[in-house]
A and B are shown apart, each in its own frame.
Chain A
Amino acid sequence: MNLSLLIIVPVFVSMAILLCRDAKQVRIAALLGSAIQLGLAFALFFAYRAEREAGNTAQMLFTYKTPWFAPLHINYSVGVDGISVAMILLTASVVVAGVLVSLSVENLTKEFFFLLLLLSSGAYGFFISLDLFTLFFFLELAVIPKYLLIGIWGSGNKEYSATKLALMLMGGSALVFVGILGIYFEAGTFDIIELSQNQLSVATQHFFFPFLFIGFGVFGALFPFHTWVPDGHSSAPTAASMFLAGISMKLGGYGCLRVATYLMPQAAHEYQGIIILLAAIAILYGSFATMMQTDLKYINAYSSVSHCGFVLLGIGMLTKTAITGAVMQMVSHGLMTALFFAAIGMLYSRTHTRAVEKMGGLLKITPFIGTVFFIAGLCSLGLPGFSGFAAEMTVFMGSWQNNDMWYRLATIAACASIVVTAVYILRALGKVMMGPLLDQHHAEITDAGWNEKLAAVILIAGVVLVGVAPLLLQHLISPSADAIMQNVLKAAL
């Protein structure tokens, strides 16, 4: 399977969108384009499984490598392992759902979908890159479309949020770049596979690991570099929020794993305590901060900080199970938070408010949206049967395997956050969906349209599938997580 299709298709579709004449054509093109992406992602998934079942044990499959800037040893090099495949599936689902939810965008429709699809190609590119430079290229590719999506179609304090997001992500990628240069300085190559086979010197790892980890951590909402998350998510239009929380934040987690931890295992050991501490803080503090929010989008955004803390916690624990859990949590959180933002977006477009205290009893008026809201909420608080549970439990089990009392305390703290999560989720659900109808104007609003229903169904299907049969996902991820762990273990010896 040609992986470059994943990049080319969205780019071509976005070009096609630019050529469209009216909004209707744009919508059709965007929808088709994203559907093709989803198809491709599934095709990749099945092709990958077929290869693995055929006994192909190469770490990366479907690799393709061609020189890009030969003098600098920069290659366009792609390939996937289970982790990438999982992330690609996530991306494709979220993008389709995002396009579906945004079909009603009226203002500058063409530009909106153009940017959205461009963004998705960046995410795919990032997940399939096996070359640090290519990876960095795709990492930064996504910054500006996000800025524009928030700035043009956003709401609230959008300019501030958009600028903050762009600058903080730029800062993150600047740090990543320093880290990558550091690796290149010593090893003279950007090739991830090659780098993973030859250990970098301890001094290099020691000095550059923080750059890479914090740099990617900014994307992945590492405490205290998470402040772009609440503002950015809440000002963004629905599809952009879905994309930001669902995919963008995963770039960080993926980068921390694939680049920082994988290539610098010794440093990962060395800084383990700090990572775990920060992750635990993010988890607990994020959930407590969420408790105080009254704006639905802020609630979900802060809860994303908390949930993404699990990803970093899993990575920091450096056990195979924890890393598997971290990746599962990325997938799970991506789907779940996209679903949540979709539900919030649906509500907001109808009630024109996101303030929890201004809504009430909407379950009766909009049973579908209400149900979606409930499912997203229950998934967020880690209910079995939804993806969040399987992912979080894997993280917990994996973390507990790390036999250090302080790390275990961090795990307990992380576990404790699920109680706080329950508090704020149920508060929001109770206030918005249940109780008596607060605002009589809301009695008039309509339930979800076909496109919104379809979007929700796609995401719910993902959430439930992962929740009911997590082994599917785990078997996809686990061997690849093991490969990363092998590198870590090798370094520990």
Chain B
Amino acid sequence: MEVTLNHILFLSTALFFIGVYGFLTRRNVITMLMAIELLLNSVNINFIAFNKYLYADKLDGVFFTLFLIAIAAAEAAVAIAIIINIYRNYKSIDVDDVDTLKW
């Protein structure tokens, strides 16, 4: 069976929604961060797929993906640093516990 663009888009969309679902339901902050990685990866897949199937003459999508991977790493680094701080202050990394700021 040939893999068409549609298949790949189906995959990336599924990944996207899995990521969203994960972000909305996981209580552990680290897991939520991982869900975000899923989201970003679905975007990456999109870019690559579009580039390969539709606009193979230019490399816009590929470049975008490369930058995206780098930024995702930077973001994760800062996020993990902050999460460590959360753990220090709250002795927990459960997102439900971190709700002193409200109303």
**Direct touch of chains A and B (CB < 8 A):** no
A residues lining the B interface (CB < 8 Å): none
